[in-house]
Amino acid sequence: METNNDKKLTVVLGASPNPERYSYLAVNRLKAKGHPVIAIGKRAAAIDDTPVITEHPPLEKVDTVTMYLNPVAQKAYYDYILQLQPRRIIFNPGAENPELEDIARQHNIQPVEACTLVMLSTGQF
């Protein structure tokens, strides 16, 4: 009974309230396209009307995790990402991580090395 099949619940890891950061732009552009967004960052903040949380809440039906953390910072999130069981993880430029990409594949999660902003602007998201 899903009516919003094209709306993809997306977790933005490494979300920043700094308007100059790509994660900030990604949160706004995902929302502008109608995708529900959970923004997780180092500090509690807000990106416009989207809260940036520091917790790792249990979520269901996560389509995409989009990564804005460097590979060292990602390690703390491995277990959480696997609990979310997303369809895919987008590794934005600078976030590429062969170790997590291998772990993702082992758990039937598609790793994608791409830019979320480009994917949104070209209709590939």
Average pLDDT over every residue of 114-125 = 96
Segment 43-67, tens digit of pLDDT: 999 999 999 999 999 999 999 999 9
pLDDT value of residue 2: 38
pLDDT score for 62: 98
pLDDT beyond 60 at 4: no
CA distance from start to end of the chain: 22
- In whole angstroms, give the CA distance from residue 107 to residue 57: 20
Domain segments of the chain as ranges: 25-121
CATH of domain 25-121: 3.40.50.720
pTM score, two decimals?
0.94
39 Cβ contact list (under 8 Å, min separation 6):
12, 15, 23, 27, 47, 50, 51, 52, 53
